A = this chain, B = another copy of it.
Amino acid sequence: MLVGSVPIGAGAPVAVQSMTTTPTSDPEATLSQIGELAAEGCEIARVAIPDAASLGGFEAICAASPLPIVADVHFDHHLAIEACRRGASALRINPGNIGSWERVDAVIEAAGEAGIPIRIGVNAGSLAKDVEVRADLTHAEKLVESAVSFVRHFAKRDFSDIVVSAKTHSAMETVEVNRLLSKALPEVPLHLGVTEAGDFSQATVKNSVALGILLTEGIGDTVRVSITAPPVDEVRVAWQILAAVGVRRRGPEIVSCPTCARCSIDLMSLEAEVARRVRSVDAPLCVAVMGCEVNGPGEARAADIGIAGGHGHCILFAGGEIIATVAQDEAVDALMGEIAARFGA
């Protein structure tokens, strides 16, 4: 299926998405945030429509956005129907909180008329009513059973342009639910993410654990890493997860040691400066920044290029071999020069 021009599922690259946190009634602020997200590699942006007053802003956002926009609507099917008519590239609803099958059907009809896909979401707050009360199911099974029942309902309405998400704030429950979903709905693309995952550190851990396990098992077609932090952070972490798992890579990877008593330079500042400057490099290089000229070149020999700090100077190395010795305050310039010379980047 396609969200705007971004394919999801059926072997397409795992797509990175995020969600705006600005008021939707303020298109300027929201478009500015979408611009930041796009610059960081976000491919799909989701925008909440909490009330009718947000619809005008939503329409303006869709008209000007460089990324396809998913309308995020809870509870009120009228808003969802309006979103289809105002330029949404996709709709996200949780059928379990829309109120009735009739209302869900009205949304399905509107999405069909607009020719846009629907993400069917399920979480602890939006289980299917008849599933929620079943004492024979675990919470994970209730999420799966709800999703499956929603997909069946959509199928009866001949609507198959869907992606499914079932989210919890537990990494391992996320793994369990999506393993079950991928078996129960093998044809349906899955949207992965740990929800309400917490602050930067905990959310990065939970999403990395859950998505790491699932993506290495071949499960998952698009990801949204939820973090209580600016949404650009979500995009950066999503790409880092995809790179760590080896399914997609965007730009250079920096390898840097944790420092120890052998380190005689301010490695954190050096690493931060290198990270900042290599962001403009497109090539998928591995760049090492090591605190120790003794261990550095050997331990980081798999890196394409690197620097290691010594006592008052730095060494440049490539493929584990030392290629130059430079003054410490010229090290990053020298590194960037070598990257340009060797990799044309």
Contact = CB atoms under 8 A, between A and B. Distances in A.
Interface of A: 19-25, 30, 47-50, 54, 72, 74-75, 97, 123-126, 139, 168-172, 175, 195-206, 208-213, 216, 226-229, 231, 233-234, 236-237, 240-241, 244-246, 253-263, 267-268, 271-272, 275, 288-290, 294-295, 297-302
Contacts of A139: 302
Contact of A208 (B126, B212, B275, B288): B212
10 contacts: A48-B261, A49-B261, A75-B294, A124-B301, A172-B245, A196-B288, A196-B300, A210-B244, A212-B213, A229-B268
Contacts of A49: 261
Total copies of the chain: 2
Given A208-B205, A208-B212, A48 B260 contact: yes
A227 B258 contact: yes
A54 B297 CA distance: 24
B302 A169 contact: yes
Contact of A126 (B209, B258, B298): B298
B262 A19 contact: no
Contacts of A294: 74-75
Contact of A209 (B244, B262, B275): B244
Of A245, A253, A255, A297, the most chain B CB neighbours within 10 A belong to A255
A72 to B, nearest CB: 7
A256 B204 contact: no
